[in-house]
């Protein structure tokens, strides 16, 4: 019967039995007078028994702990759980990435300018700052679902560090490409404008040279 | 003269929750002098706050300084950042901060008490105290969405609102907690076996406590009326919600136990007043300013006065952040209070200081 009781109940049996003479050597003089000293008298014995009887009574009570794997523990409705993302609503402002304290969100970008959202549940501290900052409601949101454990196959630390660096590099590459294209376009435009200007100048020159002829005639 | 022995306790020891090293010099089992070494868990948080993180993110970083007084650290940082930004936060945010700080105080004090009982050899009382502590964790989870690491205070206000059904639940649960607290107070006050280990152990008198700059329950148990909640009114209106000073005179482990339990009645009172008088309004004051200048903030954490200093230079990243935790102020007093005690009661005395080494070493 005793073996069937939960461990927490058996622990209660470990009632304190310590050296009785410790109080004699303790420095009472600074604060306690003799009348306040603990006495091994009737009153003290009764109060000692009271706690003891209560502790014994605990043997016949149900355990107060939640039997976790068989019973769900308390979880509030607005528990700070996994961060969800809705790609259709996102306006790709990247503000969530900027405010995230541990850097658990990162956006990568391909050469066409299409951005992809990456989230690491092992880095996230579930503070909800991304949700508060998001200018578009519902694009990024917090669910009440706790994060599942990471598996070795996921390579969640080193894999994420690599992914993070790659994502930043992909954005830089896109920005550089964009800059190059813009510069190219601008150069082309400038060349065209210069050519047009030259043509115009030539034309006016021709007109100028032609005009005196008309005047002369 | 008897032979002297040096007995080390820590850095890893069965009675310690965190790495802490005490070197006792004993003579006939009596401690005659002590050396303490507290810097085992240094993580370089101050440097990280001034280099890697932006000032709005720092409130989440400093929340990770300590698991037990997470909300005290985030609130103190938020307040110092608000001073640098020169903004006033809404009154509702102030009230909600006080609510979570006091709930945190309940769970922190009960953890310390249970630890004292365990280190005094009273396992049954340890179990009982931890059983009664569980409700505060659930209430904090309902309010903040997490059992620890609340991330509740942010720069400019608080991150979540208190829902009406949660508020009702908090009041209901506090009502059932009061008889449980009475029972605990009865046991800690009157249990004879516990008093053998606690009465007169680790005593420090008022003059010594004042000279060594002791703070928190450690100082108040010695009769020194030190409480930041009693001194500052500008950041959080403590007196408005019914704060009262609690002091004991003896200054030993027993007095600290009783003081912590008596403080819980005040905390319950404050929480009830906060919920009943919760003002309406916004939760956050928005601003686009950058921190500039210097500021200092003091806040009463469960272990005593928490001190924050910050310096900004009109950029996203702070120039300097200094955290001084209550345990750091208490180290000198802790070393002093061991003198003259039995080595056998050292474990209970250490627990009764409620040392938080992660706060101290940052």
Residue percentage of chain B with pLDDT more than 90: 12
Return the SS3 of B342: strand
**Whole-number pLDDT of residue A41:** 52
Of B187, B191, B200, the CB nearest to A23: B200
Instruction: Give the tens place of pLDDT for each residue, B255-287.
Output: 899 999 999 999 999 999 999 988 888 888 888
The answer to whether the CB atoms of A79 and B146 lie below 8 A apart is: yes
CB of A16 within 8 Å of any CB in chain B? yes
Judge whether residue B136 has pLDDT over 70. Answer: yes
Return the residue in A17, A31, A77, A97 with the most chain B beta carbons within 10 A, the one to mutate for interface testing.
A31
**Whole-number pLDDT of residue A211:** 64
Q: Which residues of chain A neighbour B250 with C-beta distances below 8 Å?
A: 30-32
Judge whether residue B163 has pLDDT over 60. Answer: yes
**Whole-number pLDDT of residue A18:** 45
Calculate ∠ Cα B348-B191-B244, nearest 5°: 75
**d(C-alpha B129, C-alpha B131), whole Å:** 5
**Whole-number pLDDT of residue A3:** 43
**Whole-number pLDDT of residue A44:** 54
Q: How confident is the model at residue B296 (pLDDT cuts 50, 70, 90)?
A: very high
Of B144, B196, B342, the CB nearest to A20: B196
Contacts of B58 (CB under 8 A, 6+ apart): B49, B77, B81, B318, B321
**Whole-number pLDDT of residue A217:** 46
Residue found by looking up tokens 């008889």 in the block: B179
Q: How far is B84 from chain A (nearest CA, A)?
A: 20
- CA end-to-end distance (rounded Å), chain B: 42
CB of A70 within 8 Å of any CB in chain B? no
CB of A42 within 8 Å of any CB in chain B? no
Of A15, A64, A99, the CB nearest to B131: A64
Q: Which residues of chain A neighbour B340 with C-beta distances below 8 Å?
A: 27
pTM, entire model: 0.81
In chain B, beta strands by DSSP E: 4-9, 21-27, 30-37, 153-154, 157-158, 292-301, 304-313, 320-324
The answer to whether the CB atoms of A99 and B131 lie below 8 A apart is: no
**d(C-alpha A131, C-alpha B207), whole Å:** 52
Asked whether the ipTM of the predicted complex exceeds the cut of 0.85, the reply is: no
Output phi, psi for A108, to 5 deg.
-105, 165
**d(C-alpha B192, C-alpha A22), whole Å:** 13
Residue percentage of chain B with pLDDT more than 70: 100
Mean pLDDT confidence for B219-237: 85
CB of A137 within 8 Å of any CB in chain B? no
Q: How far is A167 from chain B (nearest CA, A)?
A: 19
- The count of CB pairs under 8 A between chains A and B is 131
The answer to whether the CB atoms of A38 and B195 lie below 8 A apart is: yes
Return the SS3 of B295: strand
- The one-digit pLDDT tens for each residue of chain A (217 residues) are 444 444 444 444 444 444 444 444 444 443 444 444 444 455 555 656 777 787 788 888 888 888 888 888 888 888 888 888 888 888 888 888 888 888 888 888 888 878 888 888 888 888 888 888 888 888 888 888 888 888 888 888 888 888 888 888 888 888 888 899 899 999 999 999 888 888 888 888 888 777 665 554 4
**Whole-number pLDDT of residue B110:** 92
What is the residue-wise DSSP string for B131-195? Answer: HHHHHHHHHHHHHHSSSS----EETTEESSPPPHHHHHHHHHHHHHHHHHHHHHHHHHHH-HHHH
Q: Which residues of chain A neighbour B120 with C-beta distances below 8 Å?
A: 16, 18
Return the SS3 of B33: strand
Calculate ∠ Cα B94-B100-B105, nearest 5°: 125
Return the SS3 of A107: strand
């Amino acid at each position: 019967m005793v073996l069937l009781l939960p461990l927490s109940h058996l622990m209660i049996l470990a009632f304190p039995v310590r050296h009785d003479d410790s109080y004699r050597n303790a420095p009472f003089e600074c604060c306690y007078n003799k009348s306040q000293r603990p006495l091994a008298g009737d009153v003290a014995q009764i109060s000692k028994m009271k706690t003891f009887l209560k502790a014994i009574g605990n043997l016949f009570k149900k355990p107060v702990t939640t039997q976790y794997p068989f019973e769900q523990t308390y979880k509030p409705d607005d528990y700070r759980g996994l961060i969800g993302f809705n790609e259709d609503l996102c306006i790709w402002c990247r503000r969530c990435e900027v405010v995230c304290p541990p850097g658990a969100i990162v956006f990568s970008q391909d050469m066409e300018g299409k951005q992809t959202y990456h989230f690491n549940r092992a880095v996230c501290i579930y503070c909800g700052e991304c949700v508060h900052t998001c200018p578009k409601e519902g694009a990024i949101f917090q669910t009440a679902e706790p994060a599942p454990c990471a598996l070795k196959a996921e390579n969640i630390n080193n894999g994420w560090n690599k992914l993070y660096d790659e994502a930043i590099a992909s954005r830089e590459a896109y920005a550089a490409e964009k800059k190059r294209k813009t510069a190219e376009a601008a150069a082309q435009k400038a060349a065209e404008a210069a050519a047009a200007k030259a043509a115009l100048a030539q034309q006016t020159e021709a007109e100028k040279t032609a005009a005196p002829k008309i005047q002369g005639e | 003269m008897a032979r002297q022995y040096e007995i080390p306790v820590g850095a890893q020891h069965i009675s310690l929750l965190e790495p802490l090293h005490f070197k006792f010099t004993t003579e006939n089992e009596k401690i005659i002098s002590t050396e303490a070494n507290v810097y085992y868990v240094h993580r370089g948080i101050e440097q990280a706050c001034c280099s890697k993180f932006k000032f709005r993110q720092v409130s989440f970083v400093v929340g990770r300084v300590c698991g037990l007084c997470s909300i005290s650290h985030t609130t103190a940082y938020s307040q110092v950042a608000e001073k640098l930004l020169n903004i006033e936060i809404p009154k509702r945010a102030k009230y909600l901060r006080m609510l979570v700080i006091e709930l945190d105080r309940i769970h922190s004090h009960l953890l310390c008490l249970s630890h004292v009982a365990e280190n005094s050899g009273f396992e049954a009382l340890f179990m009982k105290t931890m059983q009664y502590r569980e409700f505060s964790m659930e209430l904090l989870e309902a309010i903040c969405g997490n059992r620890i690491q609340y991330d509740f205070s942010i720069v400019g206000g608080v991150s979540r609102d208190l829902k009406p059904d949660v508020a009702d639940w908090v009041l209901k649960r506090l009502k059932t907690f009061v008889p449980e607290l009475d029972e605990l107070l009865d046991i800690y006050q009157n249990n004879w076996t516990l008093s053998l280990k606690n009465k007169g152990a680790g005593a420090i008198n008022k003059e010594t406590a004042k000279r060594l700059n002791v703070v928190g329950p450690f100082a108040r148990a010695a009769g020194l009326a030190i409480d930041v909640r009693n001194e500052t009114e500008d950041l959080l209106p403590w007196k408005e919600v019914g704060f009262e000073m609690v002091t004991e005179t003896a200054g030993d482990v027993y007095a600290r136990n009783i003081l912590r339990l008596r403080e819980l009645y005040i905390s319950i009172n404050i929480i009830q007043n906060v919920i009943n008088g919760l003002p309406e309004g916004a939760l956050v004051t928005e601003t686009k300013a950058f921190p500039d200048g210097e500021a200092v903030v003091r806040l009463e954490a469960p272990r005593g006065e928490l001190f924050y200093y910050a310096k900004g230079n009109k950029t996203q990243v702070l120039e300097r952040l200094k955290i001084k935790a209550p345990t750091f102020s208490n180290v000198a007093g802790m070393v002093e209070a061991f003198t003259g005690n039995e080595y056998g009661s050292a474990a209970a005395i250490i627990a009764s200081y409620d040392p938080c080494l992660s706060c101290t070493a940052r």
